[in-house]
Amino acid sequence: MKYCSKCKKLYFNKDNDSCPSCGRKLIEDPNYFSPVHIVTANGFELERIRAALESKEIPYSYQNEKKETGIRILNSAPPENCDVFVPVSAYSDALDILVGIGAIKNDNIPDIDDDGIKKIDSAKKEAARADEELSPGKARIVRILSFAAFLLILAATVYAADFIIALVKSFFA
């Protein structure tokens, strides 16, 4: 699995070292939170996609497609095409959902090899570890230890400053 940081797309072909769209060098292992382009939609379809992703609590973002001219007639519908992005860790889940609701047609589904599936699964696990919260008891212990460490650092700074001042005074006395 390779990732283009400019186009925000995943490529599962091992032979490519550069992006077919922009020519930029592909990244071997993207970070689990790197945004990935999953679909381009507008109007009602975009709202369906947003609702489906929100119902499954999959994080997403979208922005106007860069190819738009910027010219828009007032009160025109549907709105501009928008590119929808999900994190690498949620890519396979979002892909399943969008295929299920018909937002991505069967002939546009990317062929994800076993290596790509393993990397996406490891990104999911990494994201889950990052999202784990401390229990209230552990959080309290961490706060107490952090406060004690802060006091120790503060005391060491004061003693070091006193020592340096005493040393400077001894040179001039």
Domain holding 42: CATH number?
3.30.70.790
Instruction: Note the pLDDT tens digit of each residue in 68-120.
Output: 555 555 555 455 788 889 998 888 888 888 888 888 876 666 767 666 677 77
Same domain, 57 and 138: no
- Look up the domain containing 121 and give its range: 2-131
Q: Quote the pLDDT of residue 165.
A: 94
Same domain, 55 and 120: yes
Q: Which range has the top average pLDDT, 27-41, 49-63, 132-146? A: 49-63
Residue 37 has pLDDT above 70, yes or no: yes
pLDDT > 90 in the chain, percent = 20
What value does the mean pLDDT take over residues 14-34?
Answer: 82
Residues 6 or more apart whose CB falls under 8 angstroms from that of 57 comprise: none
Same domain, 153 and 115: no
Q: Quote the pLDDT of residue 32.
A: 78
Q: Quote the pLDDT of residue 67.
A: 58
Q: Quote the pLDDT of residue 28.
A: 83
Same domain, 99 and 78: yes
Same domain, 118 and 35: yes
Residue 26 has pLDDT above 80, yes or no: yes
Instruction: Note the pLDDT tens digit of each residue in 133-159.
Output: 667 788 889 899 999 999 999 999 999
- Rounded-to-integer distance, Cα 111 and Cα 1, Å: 11
Same domain, 95 and 164: no
Same domain, 40 and 123: yes
Specify the number of domains making up the chain.
2
